[in-house]
Amino acid sequence: MPLSERLIALRKQRSLSQQAMADAIGIHANSWKKYETGQAQPSLDVLKKIATSLNVSTDFLLFDEHERVPVDELSLQFEAISQLPDDEQSIVREVLESLIIKYQSRRWDSARQAAKKKEE
């Protein structure tokens, strides 16, 4: 499910209007509408605010369920990360979130380019 559809579903599950959701994360309602229609992608900071406001992880927002299940190798790495001090865990988390957003942006760009080619 694309991010835009996931945002709509989560907002509606919580009985929030687009304006209420935009207010909750400190953005203009038109920006939120663009996220829901797939015309724009939220920045990392906005994505964090969305996840916090909706009480979900950024992984939940960006990835389908089958993409969120860590493979055994990643499980071991996550276990090692959990042993790090809090400040170092925070750094790792920020790096991972940045990589996730970069990956999602590439997927979104590819989908948008494919849609443009179909229109031509």
Cβ within 8 Å of residue 13, ≥6 positions away: none
Say which range, 22-31, 42-51, 54-63, has the weakest mean pLDDT.
54-63
37 vs 60: CA distance, rounded Å: 18
Nearest of 27, 29, 34, 49 to residue 3 by alpha carbon: 34
Predicted local confidence at residue 70, as pLDDT: 59
pLDDT at 72 over 70: no
Residue-wise pLDDT tens digits, 18-46: 999 999 999 999 999 999 999 999 999 99
Structure tokens at 1: 């499910």
Q: The domain 3-119 belongs to what CATH superfamily?
A: lambda repressor-like DNA-binding domains (1.10.260.40)
* Domain boundaries of the chain, sorted by first residue: 3-119
